[in-house]
């Protein structure tokens, strides 16, 4: 699926997640791998779980952190691509 502004992604059923002290810990049950997300990655993860579109994720990052929209879009795209490659979201 393309990373268009209207695209929606969600955690796969193989992923368990918990937010601990502002950072998300993800467990891929299929691979037995743990992943950690920093503060902004955690904000994006929580928004993904709530059904946010890619455009909404970018807007949220811009509205809450001192970052240009182009930078936020590149960072969101990079994280989503990483999560897609590891089959943590679909």
- In this prediction, the residues of the chain whose per-residue pLDDT falls under 50 are none
The 3 state secondary structure assigned to 11-26 is ECCCEEEEEECCEEEE
Q: State pLDDT tens for residues 70-84.
A: 999 999 999 999 999
Instruction: Read off the pTM.
Output: 0.94
Q: What confidence score (pLDDT) does residue 2 get?
A: 78
Q: What confidence score (pLDDT) does residue 1 get?
A: 60
CA–CA dist 80, 3 (Å, integer): 8
């Amino acid at each position: 699926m393309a990373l268009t502004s209207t695209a929606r992604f969600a955690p796969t059923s193989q992923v368990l997640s918990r937010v601990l002290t502002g950072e998300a810990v993800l467990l891929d049950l299929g691979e037995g791998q743990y992943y950690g997300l920093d503060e902004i990655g955690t904000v994006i993860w929580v928004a993904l779980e709530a059904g946010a579109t890619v455009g909404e994720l970018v807007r949220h990052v811009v509205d809450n952190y001192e970052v240009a929209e182009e930078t936020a879009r590149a960072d969101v795209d990079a994280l989503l691509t990483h999560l897609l490659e590891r089959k943590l979201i679909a």
